[in-house]
């Protein structure tokens, strides 16, 4: 699906979409518990992949939609495997979801038999060697059929626990996967994570684990990005009810759209949580946007009509890599230069996001330079309409649509339908807020 976007403003009030990251974690942990209810989950391409993976390992998962006031409320009801997942009857497909791939590679190590997990062409390029090495050191047998750490991945045997040292610079998902699986191992696990990236995502995992009755001890080693974890084995999960909070990652596109189009917008259901991407509020404020966050009410308001224009900043995004496409678009229309650093690991997402952000924003007249670990962007007042390509990356698709709102003329974002992976109602929400977007 292509999106033809005209220069336009947005205005109004909207409820933030549910968190994809929390939904993944809740489903995975519920699949290992007894009986769970997940309230207000995100149902998207990625989380559907996690639901299907849970079913492959023996969990019963039912999605219920009920009326609530004037709208609908979604729930996921899970009859879990109580820590003993079945050996799957068939190959597990994680589709395009890196989270599903990494989480269920580790969870499959709790099966008595063997499991094979793979995904689409993009996912089959993503690296997993550090996770496979750690699982082997913790008692299971895990390997890539191609021998290079990429899917398809075969996992045999049952995790026993022990000690492992893991390179966590590529993805914090490796650590989250181990933290979910290791409490169900027979013995305690001691994990040393070197150069851990995206620490807030690890904290989101421990937050859901705590709600399921399992606490993980961890500490940062000095001033480095190395972390030590002690995970008690022989535990069980009891995640009876988990309410999914609003998603700051997805909401960042809405907030950015209001900021760059001089619009007024209220986004509800954005309460404080472990989400590192709540930093979008701080960054917008630093760039000069008129924004305020009522944490008690969970409302973020942007008043673009009072803005005197955005300004460039220097920002390290190591802990918030998913915000980089949004920040790059804000930087493109800000006065002065913006330097984004600390995100070399963005090259190992659905695409090489540093490379493709540079390519596509250049088409819109942005002076942008790709660096080894970030971007250098010279802002300009008006962007140029162009035909741009999402590279079938959901975050690039949404970011380019936001950029197009400030361009003169019609910008066509090709293959924009991949936004469904993390924010299925993105275009519906944008249209309801007044954006001039035609889908074909």
Beta strands in 179-306 (DSSP E): 189-194, 217-220, 227-231, 241-243, 264-268, 291-294, 299-303
Q: For helices 279-286 and 248-260, what crossing angle results, to 10°?
A: 20
- Please tell me what DSSP assigns to residue 245: P
Q: Is 322 a catalytic residue?
A: yes
d(CA 200, CA 217) in angstroms, rounded, equals 15
Is beta strand 407-408 parallel, antiparallel or unpaired with respect to 153-156? Answer: unpaired
d(CA 148, CA 159) in angstroms, rounded, equals 22
Dihedral sign, CA of 179, 182, 187, 189? negative
Tokens of 211: 């709600």
137 close to 167: Cβ distance less than 8 angstroms: no
d(CA 32, CA 16) in angstroms, rounded, equals 28
d(CA 7, CA 408) in angstroms, rounded, equals 6
Query: Which of 322, 373, 393, 436 does the annotation list as catalytic?
Result: 322
**Could you tell me which of 13, 103, 1, 17 has the C-alpha nearest to residue 422?**
17
Annotated catalytic residues are 322
């Amino acid at each position: 699906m292509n999106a033809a976007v005209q220069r336009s403003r947005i205005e109004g009030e909207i409820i933030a979409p549910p968190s994809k990251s929390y939904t993944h974690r809740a489903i995975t942990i519920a699949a290992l518990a007894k009986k769970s209810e997940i309230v207000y989950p995100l149902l998207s391409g990625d989380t559907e992949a996690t639901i299907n993976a849970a079913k492959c390992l023996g969990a019963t998962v039912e999605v219920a939609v009920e009326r609530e006031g004037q709208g609908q409320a979604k729930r996921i009801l899970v009859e879990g495997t109580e820590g003993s997942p079945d050996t799957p009857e068939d190959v597990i497909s994680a589709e395009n979801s890196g989270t599903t791939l990494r989480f269920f590679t580790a969870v499959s190590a709790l099966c008595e038999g063997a499991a094979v997990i793979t995904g689409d062409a993009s996912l089959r390029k993503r690296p997993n060697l550090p996770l496979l090495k750690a699982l082997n050191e913790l008692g299971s047998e895990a390997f890539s059929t191609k021998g290079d750490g990429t899917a398809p991945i075969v996992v045999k045997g049952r995790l026993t626990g022990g000690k492992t040292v893991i390179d966590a610079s590529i993805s914090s998902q490796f650590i989250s996967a181990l933290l979910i699986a290791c409490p169900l191992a027979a013995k305690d696990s001691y994990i040393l994570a070197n150069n851990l990236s995206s620490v807030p995502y690890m904290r989101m995992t421990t937050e859901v684990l705590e709600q399921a009755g399992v606490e993980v001890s961890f500490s940062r080693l000095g001033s480095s990005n190395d972390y030590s974890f002690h995970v008690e084995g022989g535990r069980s999960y009891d995640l009876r009810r988990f309410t999914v909070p609003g998603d700051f990652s997805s909401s960042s596109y809405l907030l950015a759209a209001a900021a760059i189009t001089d619009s007024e917008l209220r986004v509800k259901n954005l309460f404080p949580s472990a989400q590192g991407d709540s930093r979008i509020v701080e960054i917008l404020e630093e760039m000069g946007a008129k924004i305020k966050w009522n944490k008690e009410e969970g409302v973020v308001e942007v008043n673009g009509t009072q803005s005197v224009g955005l300004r460039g900043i220097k920002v390290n995004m190591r802990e918030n890599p998913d915000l980089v496409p949004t920040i790059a678009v804000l930087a493109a229309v800000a006065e002065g230069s913006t330097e984004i650093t600390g995100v070399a690991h963005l090259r190992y997402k659905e695409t090489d996001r540093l490379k493709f952000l540079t390519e596509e924003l250049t088409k819109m007249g942005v002076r942008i330079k790709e660096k080894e670990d970030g971007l250098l962007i010279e802002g300009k007042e008006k962007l140029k309409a162009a035909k741009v390509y999402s590279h079938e990356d959901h975050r690039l698709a949404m970011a380019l649509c936001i950029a197009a709102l400030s361009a003169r003329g019609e910008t066509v974002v090709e293959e924009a339908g991949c936004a469904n992976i993390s924010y299925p109602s993105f275009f519906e929400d944008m249209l309801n807020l007044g954006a001039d977007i035609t889908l074909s």
